[in-house]
Amino acid sequence: MTDQIAGARAASVAAPSAGASSRGDAVVVGGGVIGLGIAWRAALAGLQVTVVDDAPGRGASWAAAGMLAPVTEVHYGEQALLRLNLAAAARWRAFVAELEQCAGASVGYRRCGTLIVARDSDDNAALEDLYRFQRSLGLQVERLRGRECRHLEPGLAPSVRGGVLAAGDHQVDNRALVAALLTACKRAGARCRAGRVAAVRVERDRVRGVVLAGGEPLEASTVVLAAGCWSGALGGLPPRVLPPVRPVKGQLLHLRGPAEEPLCQRNVRGLEVYVVPRGDGRVVIGATVEEQGFDTTITAGAVHDLLRAVFELLPEVTELELVETVAGLRPGSPDNAPLLGPSQLEGLVIAAGHYRNGILLTPVTADAMAELLVSGRVPAAITRFSPRRFAGAAGAAGAPPSRSSVDVSSPPVWVSRTERGLPR
């Protein structure tokens, strides 16, 4: 926790009216990793915080794979996001230490590194592009031949042609993270309220609190909108302040094998699939990227495609038990970056649109937003990601990302493959 947050007590964002603290300083709408992370840090700083969610931690935060992968997730035109992702990755070790101490439970943080591999020469050419791009950004990556990849991961197929090692891209067990954040919130004094927010209550151009689905009002001087992909449709708000966030479906698989004979030690990524080994025999395989609205159907085709793609890289996957299939909804934004900070409506702050990196971005989001709630000032780390950059873009929610809204300055191979469905 930053000194600024730790030292502050019960201040509030956006100049609350007199007596606000008796009504609660902040209501957080949504108890995924983002809402829970913010609530935990704000409660530690002394704010009276209530998180409202009827299924906390069961949204995208539950479905995710848990990769903490700023280097392997880098994409052309997303350099500002890369800086935020790197800042987030740098905070993880300290964040985990503090969270595990607070919650009294492990979050399965594994400093395992990530190996991206090419199954053929076309893939290898694409990897070469990615490698050069990563190097041009000063990222820590190592180019490997096929046999060097197999030396690191003996289970890789003989056909693997080469790879890129990102030794600093790690993982966390996102479901353990959610559970720990819930415990830590309660221990820090945040209230976790089961329920659905029907509407934000707005009077005289400022937020006064929320109304739950059953009609019960909760007063607060500040409302934090952290409802993942559902953030763009919350009731009571004028369209101009609704964040243009949309659901991006991802299907993934959970498998299990013997802990003593792991499928792989590191996160292994191909151009069509990723494999995240938990270190105890559990393996997560993902993920599709689908613009299907709020649909969460598991399809046979997706299961087939994921298993086929991983079989080409790690053939022994066929020996593992298929334990679970999951579909989750990433909170996508028009430029793939989160919306963080005050909205145009006094008392409403937004933390949404974390798309494919919300687990990675949890520490930096939680600290920056808590600091904003405490001091009323937007921390430098998130100024670039103001929700106001989409002012008037309310109609964009639900629309697929437009190429024109992204700075695709130097595209070719990596970007075009991404648009064909690279796992994210």
Phi, psi of 412 (to 5 degrees): -30, -105
Max CA distance (Å), the chain: 69
CA distances from 268 to 55, 69, 97, 206, 334 (A): 31, 11, 26, 48, 28
| Residue with Cβ nearer ligand FAD (261 or 324) | 324
Query: Helices 33-44 and 174-188 meet at what angle, rounded to 10?
Result: 30
Q: Residues with Cβ < 8 Å from 322, sequence gap 6 or more? A: 253, 254, 255
Shortest Å distance, C-beta 78 to ligand FAD: 14
Question: Which residue type sits at 277?
Answer: P
CA nearest to 387, candidates 362, 369, 367, 366 = 369
The residues of the shown chain that bind ligand FAD, judged by CB under 6 A, are 29-35, 52-53, 55-56, 58-61, 63-67, 196-197, 226-228, 230, 234, 250, 252, 286-287, 328-331, 352, 354-360
Shortest Å distance, C-beta 3 to ligand FAD: 26
Q: Residues with Cβ < 8 Å from 118, sequence gap 6 or more? A: 124, 126, 127, 160, 161, 162, 163, 270, 271
| Residue with Cβ nearer ligand FAD (31 or 146) | 31
| Residue with Cβ nearer ligand FAD (49 or 352) | 352
CA nearest to 25, candidates 396, 373, 419 = 373
Shortest Å distance, C-beta 8 to ligand FAD: 24
Shortest Å distance, C-beta 92 to ligand FAD: 11
Shortest Å distance, C-beta 286 to ligand FAD: 5
| Residue with Cβ nearer ligand FAD (62 or 311) | 62
Q: How far apart are CA 30 and CA 230, in angstroms?
A: 9
Shortest Å distance, C-beta 231 to ligand FAD: 7
| Residue with Cβ nearer ligand FAD (195 or 257) | 195
| Residue with Cβ nearer ligand FAD (54 or 122) | 54
